[in-house]
Structure 1
Amino acid sequence: MRPATPDLAPRAGLSRDEMEALQRRVAEAAVFEDDLPFDPASVSLDDPDATTLTGTDSGSDTDPPLVAGVDQAFLDDRAVSAVVVFRGGEVVERVYAVSDLDLPYIPGLLSFREGGPILDALAELEHDPDLLVFDGSGRIHFRQAGLATHVGVVCDVPSIGVAKSLLCGTPDEDVDGHPEGWNTPIRADDAVDAVGGHPATPETVLGYAFQSRQYDSQPIVNPLYVSPGHRLSPETTVDLVARLGGDYKLPEPTRLADAYADEVKTRYE
């Protein structure tokens, strides 16, 4: 899998102002409405007979879409980037890359630390995914260009950001203690920039808080914060994350990518 717009890819050696300017360019290029090569209702972990509305490069008209989970583990100044690709409920490919890290963690600039290593792993794929699911933010970001948006735009693939904490924005409701399946919109606040044709008013829905799981035998589980990365609406994004949920808090694609990254990490320790 190769970048469609390599000029927008995160790169080393930029100043903070230059990184933020590049993020604004990425946000201007992002599409926060549905532009999909498949029917969202065909996405499932346990329905091998699901069908797409249109064919893709990855298969015939009757193939379920290819969904790739992306996550990372870290070895001092290196990242282990892992990608696990599903078709229906079947894992069809796993790849990884070990890459040097050029930056420390800086809130709001995560894609410049992790995006390049992720692109290294995506380049190892034999299959071209129809959907990318990231451990990180999409549109819920100060410049509407989190990790899922940045990589999704560079690859021009529909993408989703699934974060465990809220970077910015305001939920419509208190997020504590809700049952499994609950969600509420996250709207833009003063920390979010309007970029290109993407407004940042109190009416702008950036994504959703989504309660993926609750367990009777455990303390209250906090929600996930899901947002479109590229070529998805917020509403379809939360529906797809629900469809990709397994038995755990995280959606199955990123949960297995996280486990695979940890597995690979042990080989290098």
Structure 2
Amino acid sequence: MEPVRPEFVPDPSLSTAEMEALQREIADAAVFEDDFAFDPAAVSLDGPVGQATLSARPDEEGTTSDAPLVAGVDQAFVGDRAVSAIVVLRGREVVERVYAVEPTEIPYVPGLLSFREGGAILAAFAALESEPDIVFVDGSGRIHYREAGLATHVGVTLDVPTIGVAKNLLCGRPRESLDEKLPEGARVAIEADAQVETAPAGTVVGYAVQSRQYESSSRYVNPLVVSPGHRVSAETAADLVLATAAGYKLPEPTRLADSYADSVKGDL
């Protein structure tokens, strides 16, 4: 896959002000509504916990249609190099795995992650033969100071539907407290606040999604922070993360990408 919008390819040589200006342009170009050809209900998980993979549901005629191609993207680091891994799934098989290794030319700066890691991700996509129907990215999407997190930046540049799956809340305000233990399957809307400079206050920019939870009262799992990247709504993004959780906290696409990135890192 090659960039459809090459003007948005991350350039780590830009100044901070130039990076932020580019992110505002990316947010303007992003579509935070469902705009894809596949049926989101066709993305589901069956099978034993720990072994489940993406599978198709029967169609109206009773036959099983091909499930959408679902990709997961995650990164690992070796010194000053980023390892970007992509795993593509359809049905119960891994269709393709690729990775790319690129230098990280700038340090981590909150809100500018795509300029540090985006080059490696796009290099991995360039090596990909498949064309995913949707991509899960380890990072933020619309839940971002300028609504242009890593998932949005990648999604708009490639013009592919993307979902951001983050472990921590970068900005925004939960409608309900996240300090209490949430039951598995719960979701709490995240609204834009004063930190999100490009969205009206109160706009739902994503959800805290409880993909897994312990039954024991003495242990708990924190929710994931899920937001639309591009061509996906916040509601559908949350639905698809829950549909692909497979008994783990991380959805299966990014969980497998995380494992693959760690494997490549070990080899390097």
Given the two structures, how large is their TM-score scaled by the length of structure 1?
0.91
User: How many Å apart are 1:52 and its aligned residue?
Assistant: 8.9
Q: Which residue of 2 aligns with 1:173?
A: 176
- Give the whole-Å Cα distance in 1 for the aligned partners of 2:161 and 2:67: 15
Task: Determine the structure 2 residue equivalent to 1:236.
Answer: 236
CA distance in 1, matches of 2:32, 2:122: 21
Residue in structure 1 matched with residue 33 of structure 2 by the alignment: 33
Residue 102 of structure 1: aligned partner: 105
Name 2:144's counterpart in structure 1: 141
Question: In the alignment, is residue 191 of structure 1 matched against residue 195 of structure 2?
Answer: yes
Q: Determine the C-alpha separation between the residues in 2 that align with 1:52 and 1:5.
A: 35
Quick one: distance in 1 between partners of 2:215 and 2:65? Answer: 39
Q: CA deviation at 1:15?
A: 0.1
Within-5 A mapping of 1:26-65: 26-46=26-46, 48-50=55-57, 62-65=65-68
Q: Which residue of 2 aligns with 1:115?
A: 118
Provide the aligned length of Structure 1 versus Structure 2: 256
Question: Which residue identity does 1:50 align to in structure 2?
Answer: R
Query: Which 5+ residue runs of structure 2 have no aligned equivalent?
Result: 47-53
Structure 1 position 260 matched with structure 2 position 267: no
8 Å contact from structure 1 (residues 45, 89) kept in 2:
no
Q: Distance in 1 between matches of 2:169 and 2:209?
A: 12
RMSD after superposition: 1.7
Q: Distance in 2 between matches of 1:39 and 1:108?
A: 32
| 2:84 counterpart (81, 86, 110) | 81
Which residues in structure 2 correspond to 1:151-230 (within 5 Å)?
151-175=154-178, 176-194=180-198, 199-202=199-202, 204-216=203-215, 219-230=219-230
Quick one: distance in 2 between partners of 1:80 and 1:172? 36
Q: Give the corresponding residue for 1:57.
A: none
Identity %: 62
Preserved contact between residue 44 and residue 56 of structure 2 (Cα < 8 Å)? no
Rounded to whole Å, the distance in 1 between the matches of 2:261 and 2:226 is 21
SS in 2 for 1:73: strand
Query: Gapped runs of 5+ residues in structure 1?
Result: 54-60
Q: Which residue of 2 aligns with 1:56?
A: none
| Corresponding residue SS for 1:45 | strand
Q: Judge conservation of contact 1:43–1:88 (CA < 8 Å) in 2.
A: no
The one-letter amino acid paired with 2:257 is A
Q: Which moved more, 1:160-169 or 1:86-95?
A: 86-95
Per the TM alignment, residue 216 of structure 1 is displaced from its structure 2 partner at its CA by 3.2
| Residues in 2 aligned to 1:27 and 1:70: alpha-carbon distance in whole angstroms | 21
- Residue 50 of structure 2 is matched in structure 1 by none
Once residues 204 and 224 of structure 2 are traced to their aligned partners in structure 1, the CA distance between those partners, rounded to angstroms, is 16
Structure 2 Cα separation of the partners of residues 220 and 49 of structure 1: 31
How far 1:50 sits from its partner (Å)? 3.3
Q: Tell me, what secondary structure is at the counterpart of 1:126?
A: coil
Cα offset for 1:80?
0.7
Contact 1:95 1:124 in 2 (8 A): yes
Given the superposition, is the C-alpha separation of residues 41 and 109 from structure 1 closer, same or farther in structure 2, using an over 3 Å criterion?
same
